[in-house]
Structure 1
Amino acid sequence: MQLYNTLSAKERAQILEAAGEDRLTLSFYQYAKVGNVSLFRNHLFIAWDTMEVLGRIYVAHEGINAQLSVPAKRFNEFKEFLDGVSFLKDVRLNIAIEHDLKSFLKLKVKVRHKIVADGLNDDSFDVTNKGVHVAAEEFNRLIEDPDTVLVDMRNHYESEIGHFKGAITPDVDTFRDSLDIIEEDLKDHKEDKKLVMYCTGGIRCEKASAYYKHKGFKQVFQLEGGIIEYARQVENKGLENKFVGKNFVFDHRRGERISEDIIAKCHQCGAACDNHVNCENEACHLLFIQCEACASKMDNCCSDDCKEIIKLPFEEQKILRQGIPNSNKIFKKGRSEKLKFKK
């Protein structure tokens, strides 16, 4: 049986457009002990491929981390499948605020060493001794307390377009980078301050809260369900929204608008803008912020060099990008010197 995609992203996009059926974008995670990871991976792929589920899913011995696009008409079937897996029964699903037919264009279920690259030795501390989970209403009360330190556990390109008011937003490229920086910056307040953390959907805070408790922080809290669930509760309960801007998401949408505030700027001209794009040059593929005017002027490229490359015949472009590994550097390259108005 085939356990891989047979359609290209372009072919899948055409099929989704032709069908025109509603799809739900959602995410979930669960830490659990998974024995045979490869078998679990194959089980998920076979079931979800049949349901026309698309997305990016990481499985490891420590659990699962999933971002998905599910046909709306098959959501109940999808939920029943999850409930049939012992450690996924009633798992919290973070349903996106905004939906898109093409948020994901392939089903990728990958085996990883960890479901989040945290660089931590889990044997060195109790990963189950987590911080206190708080919902949106309690979170709002907490962050108004002068004895609270609010920390964004995401990376620079995420917090640049949106964050909670008053939050510390570490200027880091990876989650692992932020852990030691935050501990050092707050080392004098391990006992007298409340450490409140948040991230996109909650998964980074699960591990970070246990890590900081291990490091001696006495009062550790984390936003239940992350920014995604916070936005939903704010809307449903009529609460004050303390998040400004967009929430960066890891699919083709690249962001969900949580407030009308635009707190970032185009990396090329400096105009108010919070739309992330990838450079049209496949050998670059740089993630950066670009306004519509610059997109038109630069042919969706990050630089004049890339603008010239995309004019070349396709075969010449392929030759130029041979041996250029960029997949793991895309986000770091947001600091490229080619960008005049980068953060």
Structure 2
Amino acid sequence: MQLYNNLSAKERAKLIEQAGKDRLTVSFYKYAKIGNPKIFRNHLFMAWDHLEVLGRIYVAQEGINAQLSLPAENFHAFKAHLDSIVFLENVRLNIAVEQDNFSFLKLKIKVRSKILADGLNDATFDVTNKGEHVDAEKFNALIEDPNTVLVDMRNHYESEIGHFKNAITPDVDTFRESLPIIEDDLKAHKEDKNLVMYCTGGIRCEKASAYYKHKGFKKVFQLEGGIINYVHQVNEKGLENKFIGKNFVFDDRRAERISDHIIAQCHQCGSPADVHTNCANEACHLLFIQCEACKEKMENCCSSTCQEITHLPYEEQKALRKGQGNSNDIFKKGRADHLPYKKDLRNIFETLQTPTTSK
């Protein structure tokens, strides 16, 4: 049985288009003890490839973290397969708010040392002693409590385009960076404040809540199912939506629009914009925010230098990349020095005001 992809992303996209099937984008995670992640990985690949599942899945001895898409008509078969695995029976599945048949174009199931790069030594604390999970209704009530500190556990480029009102948005590039920063800045409030956290689908808060309880925080809460589940509950129950802007997602959609607010700006001209793109120069590939006018003017490039390179014959571009590796800018995610309107650095405890709606 083949345990790898034999089609390119372009070839897969063409097949999806020809098939004409509606696909669902789904995510889930589960912390559990997996004795042999490699065997488990192979089992998943064989079962899911048959169901036309595409996506990015990480498997480790501590569990599974999955973002994927599949034909809607195969969803019940997929759910039945998950339920046949003891620790995944009735696992919460986050269905995307906005669907796109091309959100994933390959099935990648990778064995990792961890399903989340948190930089923590799990042996030093009880990872099962988690914070209280709250639904959308209780979450809304908690964040209106003056005794609550609301913290966004995502990275700067995620919260830049959307976040909950009055949330603290750490100015970090990775999840592991945020943990000690938040702990230090909130150390005076370990006993008297509600520490309420949220992230995209819940996995980061799952680990962070246990970590902060270990560090002495007494009242720790996390949004059940993250932003994705929150939006579904708000729509189903007719609750007030307290999320403003877009929810960044880690697939080809890049984001789901949750409200009409545009709270970010084009990194090149400063006009209201919240669409992330990757620089068209493959040697750069910088992730940044670009408005439609700049996209047309700069031909999807982050700089005039990159634009000039994309006009070179392909073989010349390939020769320029040879031996160079990725540009360092690729890891800056919108913070490259040549972007005049990149996100400004700000203190973690800056009070956020409700932004003016732009559209």
TM-score normalised per structure 1: 0.98
**Counterpart for residue 234 of structure 2:** 234
**Residues of 1 paired with 2:329 and 2:125: CA distance?**
30
Seen in structure 2, the aligned counterparts of structure 1 residues 259 and 331 have a Cα distance that, compared at 3 Å, is farther
Show CA shifts across 1:275-334 (max 9, x none): 000111111111000011100000100000110111111121112122333399634242
SS of residue in 2 equivalent to 1:196 = strand
| Cα pair 2:329 2:336 within 8 Å, conserved | no
The one-letter amino acid paired with 2:139 is F
**Residues of 2 paired with 1:38 and 1:130: CA distance?**
28
**Counterpart for residue 24 of structure 1:** 24
Show CA shifts across 1:172-229 (max 9, x none): 0000000000001101000000000000000000000000000000000000000000
SS of residue in 1 equivalent to 2:64 = strand
The one-letter amino acid paired with 2:169 is T
SS of residue in 1 equivalent to 2:334 = helix
**Residues of 2 paired with 1:79 and 1:324: CA distance?**
44
Whether 1:132 aligns to 2:94 is no
Q: How does 1:249-288 map to 2 (within 5 A)?
A: 249-288=249-288
**Residues of 2 paired with 1:83 and 1:116: CA distance?**
23
| Cα pair 2:283 2:327 within 8 Å, conserved | no
Q: How does 1:157-172 map to 2 (within 5 A)?
A: 157-172=157-172
**Residues of 2 paired with 1:104 and 1:213: CA distance?**
36
**Residues of 1 paired with 2:132 and 2:174: CA distance?**
24
**Residues of 1 paired with 2:325 and 2:66: CA distance?**
25
**Counterpart for residue 213 of structure 1:** 213
**Counterpart for residue 100 of structure 1:** 100
**Residues of 2 paired with 1:221 and 1:329: CA distance?**
36
SS of residue in 2 equivalent to 1:39 = helix
**Residues of 1 paired with 2:61 and 2:341: CA distance?**
42
**Counterpart for residue 248 of structure 2:** 248
Higher alpha-carbon deviation: 332-341 or 281-290 = 332-341
The one-letter amino acid paired with 1:142 is L
The one-letter amino acid paired with 1:54 is L
| Cα pair 2:59 2:110 within 8 Å, conserved | yes
| Cα pair 1:157 1:331 within 8 Å, conserved | no
**Counterpart for residue 314 of structure 1:** 314
Seen in structure 2, the aligned counterparts of structure 1 residues 23 and 134 have a Cα distance that, compared at 3 Å, is same
Structure 2, unmatched stretches of 5+, are: 344-359
Show CA shifts across 1:76-114 (max 9, x none): 000000001110000000000100010000000000010
**Counterpart for residue 337 of structure 2:** 337
Show CA shifts across 1:19-73 (max 9, x none): 1210000100000000011000011111111111000000000000000001001
**Residues of 2 paired with 1:324 and 1:215: CA distance?**
43
| Cα pair 2:55 2:105 within 8 Å, conserved | yes
The one-letter amino acid paired with 2:314 is F
Number of residue pairs the alignment of both structures matches: 343
| Cα pair 1:130 1:210 within 8 Å, conserved | yes
**Counterpart for residue 178 of structure 1:** 178
Higher alpha-carbon deviation: 263-272 or 13-22 = 13-22
Seen in structure 2, the aligned counterparts of structure 1 residues 46 and 329 have a Cα distance that, compared at 3 Å, is farther
**Residues of 2 paired with 1:163 and 1:237: CA distance?**
21
Show CA shifts across 1:257-277 (max 9, x none): 000100001000111010000
**Counterpart for residue 354 of structure 2:** none
Cα RMSD (Å):
1.0
Q: How does 1:82-161 map to 2 (within 5 A)?
A: 82-161=82-161
The percent identity for this pair of structures is 75
**Counterpart for residue 56 of structure 2:** 56
TM-score normalised per structure 2: 0.94
**Residues of 2 paired with 1:308 and 1:247: CA distance?**
33
The one-letter amino acid paired with 1:342 is K
**Residues of 2 paired with 1:127 and 1:257: CA distance?**
33
